[in-house]
Homo-oligomer: A and B are copies of this chain.
Amino acid sequence: MGETVGKRVESVTSHDVAAKAGVSQATVARVFSAPDKVAANTQRRVREAAEAMGYVPNAIARSLKSQRTHIVGAVVPADGEYWQSVLSAFSRALAERGEQLLLFSFDDAEHVSDALDSVEQYRLDGLVLASSTIGQEHLVRMRGSGLSVVAFNQPAAGGLVNSVSVDDEAGTSDLARHLLAQGINSAAFVGGVADASTDRSRYRGAATTLAEAGIALPYIEAGAYTYDAGYKAATHILEANDRPDAVMVASDEVAFGLHDGLRSGGIEAPHDILITGFDGLPQAAWAGYDLTTLVQPVRVLVDEAIAIISNSDTHEGEQVRVATGTIRHGRTTRRGIDDHHLSKREDRP
């Protein structure tokens, strides 16, 4: 183990390269930031020297000088399948544009504040705030910090900061219409957290549309946007006197739990009950679920968010983009194998 003689890997700078190539530091800097301003001949000499010395431009110093970090921050909940897919999409989209992604994920609302403290110190080019559990006081604070902020799927943030979100209300409205087309006569709604703005919007879209058909939509709160919460919420359906024809769930992950919870109680979809989700997670396509759900146009939302961030002269609170999702038609609402019309089914053991 004698190849490296001490910690001698230190910091070869543009000055070092300049000396070796026989040019000035400024020229070296230009080679790597504005190549068209340097003669081809000189450029080749510099690049050779840089290569030989293992020179790599220092992005930190560059950022300090240029006041642009090329880093976008993302504050995202640590848990939840949906947020992970959003994060993945952001990472991809930013990489394509040569931007880096600084990740702040948090368990509970407590840590959000700590994360935002750090956010301010790094002079990021932009900041994406995901999760509807971020309080308004944080939004206001970030707005004042001078960087361009965009709230992701947090409808309530509209007017405070830029925001992009899926059209929750239109989404559940579409799903409700789809259920009506299947001939349902009753339904229930399973939400995650009742006072989340997305939860309210999604319920409203469903309830309004069903009301037009004269169908009431009782609300059941699972308590969290998790599989377990959905599994437990199934008992509310199982123990009800008259079982609804369909259950609309506020998120796919909760829907998976509900699906399995109902099955453990002997209720199968779509035979005994119809189920719809929301989000369009990859798992919704898994054969084990094959869930009918509203697929969020994540890529569109992400691109919009990045566009807003890049366009730095957008005044805060002005941009409010809403994208509409599309229905994925899965097994869980596929009627007709053994019953063409809906009626209360008591023929199950």
Which residues of chain A in 252-277 are interfacial with respect to chain B, using CB atoms and an 8 Å cutoff? Answer: 256-257, 259-261, 263-264, 266
With A9-B146, A60-B60, A264-B287 in contact, do A107 and B122 touch (Cβ < 8 Å)? no
Residues on B with C-beta less than 8 A from A338 are: none
Task: Give the residue name and chain of the B residue nearest to A259 (CB).
Answer: B288
Is A56 in contact with B288, judged by CB distance below 8 angstroms?
no
Q: A88-B78, A256-B288 are in contact. Are A106 and B95 (CB under 8 A)?
A: yes
User: Would you give the shortest CB distance from A271 to chain B, in whole angstroms?
Assistant: 11
Distance in angstroms between the alpha carbons of A84 and B105 in the assembled complex: 12
- A330 interface contact, C-beta 8 A: no
**Quick one: given A64-B64, A102-B71, A114-B95, are A123 and B58 in contact (CB under 8 Å)?**
yes
Cα distance A286–B92 when bound, in Å?
29
Q: Which secondary structure dominates where chain A touches chain B?
A: mixed
A195 at the B interface (CB under 8 A):
no
Q: Which B residue's beta carbon lies closest to that of A8?
A: B146
Question: In the complex the two chains form, is A121's CB within 8 Å of B59's CB?
Answer: yes
In Å, the complex CA distance between A146 and B55 comes to 12
Given A78-B92, A95-B114, is A287 in contact with B261 using a C-beta cutoff of 8 Å?
yes
Give the size category of A's interface with B: 35 or more
Q: Is the CB of A100 within 8 A of B102?
A: yes
In the complex, what distance in Å separates the CA atom of A62 from the CA atom of B64?
10
Chain B contacts for A260, CB-based, 8 A: 286-288
Residues of chain B within 8 A of A115, CB atoms compared: 95
Task: Kindly name the residue among A88, A283, A318 whose own CB sees the greatest number of chain B CB atoms within 10 A.
Answer: A88
With A54-B144, A60-B122, A227-B286: A105-B111 Cβ-Cβ less than 8 Å = no
Asked whether, in the complex, the Cβ of A111 is within 8 Å of the Cβ of B123, the reply is: no
> A103 and B106: CB pair below 8 A?
no
Most central of A10, A63, A103, A118 by chain B CB within 10 Å = A103
Task: Report yes or no: A61 in contact with B58, Cβ–Cβ below 8 A.
Answer: no
- Would you give the shortest CB distance from A222 to chain B, in whole angstroms? 15
Given A91-B105, A95-B106 in contact, is the A118-B100 Cβ separation under 8 Å? yes
Contact status B60-A69, CB under 8 Å: yes
How near does chain B come to A224, taking the closest CB pair, in angstroms? 14
Q: How far is the CA of A91 from the CA of B256 in the complex (A)?
A: 26
* Measured CA separation A274–B329 after assembly (Å): 32
- Asked whether A48 is an interface residue with its Cβ less than 8 Å from the other chain, the reply is no
Q: Which residues on B sit within 8 Å (CB–CB) of A59?
A: 118, 121-123
A87 to B74, CA, bound (A): 14
| B residues near A84, Cβ cutoff 8 Å | 84, 87-88
Chain A residues in contact with chain B, CB under 8 A?
1, 4, 9-11, 54, 56-64, 67, 69, 71, 78-79, 84, 87-88, 91-92, 95, 100-107, 111, 114-115, 118, 120-123, 144-146, 227, 231, 256-257, 259-261, 263-264, 266, 282-283, 286-289, 315, 318, 346-347, 349
Q: Pick the 8 closest A-B CB pairs, nearest first.
A: A9-B146, A59-B121, A91-B105, A260-B287, A260-B288, A84-B84, A56-B120, A101-B103
Residue contacts A-B, CB under 8 angstroms, 10 given: A57-B121, A58-B121, A60-B122, A84-B87, A87-B103, A101-B102, A101-B104, A102-B103, A257-B286, A266-B346
